[in-house]
Amino acid sequence: MARIAVVDDQTLMRESIQETLCAAGYEVDAFSSGTAAVEALSAGEYDLLITDLKMPRMTGLELLAKAAEIAPSLPVVVITAHGTVESAVDAMKKGAFDYIAKPFDPDELELVVKRGVSHSRLLRENELLRSRIGDNSDVPVMVGADSGLAAVSSLIERVAATDATVLISGPSGTGKEVVARRVHYLSHRRENPFICVNCAALNAGLLESELFGHEKGAFTGADKMRRGRFELAEGGTVLLDEVSEIDPHLQAKLLRVLQEREYERVGSSATRRMNVRIIATTNRDLAKEVSDGRFREDLYYRLNVFPVVVPSLAERSLDVPGLARHFLRLLARESGQEAPELSEDAVRLLTRYQWPGNVRELKNIIERAFIMGVGRRIEKSHIENWLSDRVETASGPVIRPGMTIKDAEEILIRLTLERHQGHREKTADALGISVRTLINRLREWKMEANVA
């Protein structure tokens, strides 16, 4: 159960937030002052801090600074009065995770808290991973707080503690290998090898030798014995990257490996036992590959013991700014520089882009922008030449200055609903509201019948 600290000098507001979050299943400690909250943060561990900005003695901004010293990875949500959003923006520039303006809907509060807790858990998992693998820069981390990524992270935690075979699917460039590495490094096999085999890069003969090894003289050019990847990874993990590309003949041999946990080197009749966990990735629909006769059904079921689907970057657009800043920090560290900032226009452009190449494409674009950037700030002009052909543009009504908030809200919801093809949950998540609030708005505008 996630533990949350709530700080507000107004009793009614403090107790209202506490009651709402307790009803939602969270453990909540409420404090009437920043001083009391600092003592609690120093004594215990929390998943999220919620604080009002305007408080006597210690303000919300001062508490934010103190929290950053005590628990640097603790997400902080600030509460601001209506009409003082500038103060909340200032707090976010100083490290706050998000803000919520009074008066707010309980569903809105729950949604912000859900995202904050998910973000906190991802950060802690990253810290755990780094503590287990030291400074191994070859092991990437997952960055983001989108609900889709949080679901993937939860699956990783569950399956890592087992030896179950994992099938990771998703479009190219989404980070399937990152997921595979995390499964390995969060498991009891982490001290043993993690070996990746690119199944799409080798023909059937070479791949068989690569996986199982071969004896001297097994085929032309085999001038010495060679151990295969299964043997080299003993006690660890083998990743079969793009497993759908394996030749049908070799699929049968791989099936036996999964069933019996044994194999023979090419050119040998001696059976060798194997203690290796197998993880496979694919950018294809393996179930369709089976129905089309291109992949063995029995092998599919052996691989698909624990499926993990990695969402495309277009489905988790909320993570784009965080990923971009993460890549900038890595590039800055490698070059011995300070990480440049991203301008608000640049962030908006990156978020609106559809990312057909997913995280891999984003990383490449950010590296180009880092090289082209002037000083310590990445502007829209440094990236738009590479994105302009695929930036999503709004068709139909446009939000303009002078428009009422009600009309602007309706246009925004309609466009977002259209973008997500009528999917309520995705639309609500993208807008930062609850599904219940979305449904109420749709009923008000008599759009309910058009929603999936």
Residues 153 and 298 in one domain: yes
Residues 102 and 164 in one domain: no
> Which residue matches tokens 């912000």?
112
Query: Residue 393 pLDDT > 60, yes or no?
Result: no
> Could you give the angle at which helices 435-444 and 405-419 cross, rounded to 10 degrees?
110
Q: CATH number of the domain that 416 lies in?
A: 1.10.10
The band of 36, judged by pLDDT with boundaries at 50, 70 and 90, is very high
Give the strand pairing for 76-80 and 262-264: unpaired
Which pTM was predicted?
A: 0.58
Of 89, 123, 157, the last residue of a domain is 123
Of 123, 158, 193, the last residue of a domain is 123
Let me know if residue 39 belongs to a domain.
Answer: yes
Residues 191 and 271 in one domain: yes
Residues 317 and 439 in one domain: no
Residue scoring higher pLDDT (451 or 94):
94
Residues 223 and 154 in one domain: yes
Query: Residue 275's pLDDT is what?
Result: 93
Let me know if residue 194 belongs to a domain.
Answer: yes
Let me know if residue 58 belongs to a domain.
Answer: yes
Average of per-residue pLDDT values in the chain: 83
Let me know if residue 396 belongs to a domain.
Answer: no
Q: Which two tokens stand for residue 337?
A: 């520089």
Let me know if residue 399 belongs to a domain.
Answer: no
Q: CATH number of the domain that 353 lies in?
A: 1.10.8.60
Q: CATH number of the domain that 252 lies in?
A: 3.40.50.300
Residues 159 and 234 in one domain: yes
Let me know if residue 11 belongs to a domain.
Answer: yes
- How does pLDDT run across 180-222, given as a tens digit for each residue? 999 998 899 988 999 999 998 888 888 999 999 998 888 888 8
Let me know if residue 128 belongs to a domain.
Answer: no
Query: Residue 132 pLDDT > 70, yes or no?
Result: no
Name the least confident of 155-164, 202-211, 259-268, 379-388: 379-388
Residues 23 and 113 in one domain: yes
- The CA-atom distances, in angstroms, between 167 and each of 58, 78, 177, 182, 278 are 51, 40, 11, 14, 9
Q: CATH number of the domain that 10 lies in?
A: 3.40.50.2300
Name the least confident of 53-57, 115-119, 262-266, 284-288: 115-119
Query: Residue 50's pLDDT is what?
Result: 94
Residues 224 and 289 in one domain: yes
Residues 442 and 336 in one domain: no
Structural domain harbouring 373? 313-390
Residues 113 and 46 in one domain: yes
Query: Residue 149's pLDDT is what?
Result: 76
| 3-state helix/strand/coil string of the chain | CCEEEEECCCHHHHHHHHHHHHHCCCEEEEECCHHHHHHHHHHCCCCEEEEECCCCCCCHHHHHHHHHHHCCCCCEEEEECCCCHHHHHHHHHCCCCEEEECCCCHHHHHHHHHHHHHHHHHHHHHHHHHHHHCCCCCCCCCCCCCHHHHHHHHHHHHHHCCCCCEEEECCCCCCHHHHHHHHHHCCCCCCCCEEEEECCCCCHHHHHHHHHEECCCCCCCCCCCEECHHHHCCCCEEEEECHHHCCHHHHHHHHHHHHHCEEECECCCCEEECCCEEEEEECCCHHHHHHCCCCCHHHHHHHCCEEEECCCHHHHHHHHHHHHHHHHHHHHHHHCCCCCEECHHHHHHHHHECCCCHHHHHHHHHHHHHHHCECCEECHHHCHHHHHHHECCCCCCCCCCCCCHHHHHHHHHHHHHHHCCCCHHHHHHHHCCCHHHHHHHHHHCCCHHHCC
Of 277, 309, 341, the last residue of a domain is 309
Look at the chain and report how many structural domains it folds into: 4
Residues 368 and 225 in one domain: no
Residues 223 and 371 in one domain: no
Let me know if residue 186 belongs to a domain.
Answer: yes
Give exposure, 85-95, as e/b (b: 16+ Cβ within 10 Å). eebbebbeeee
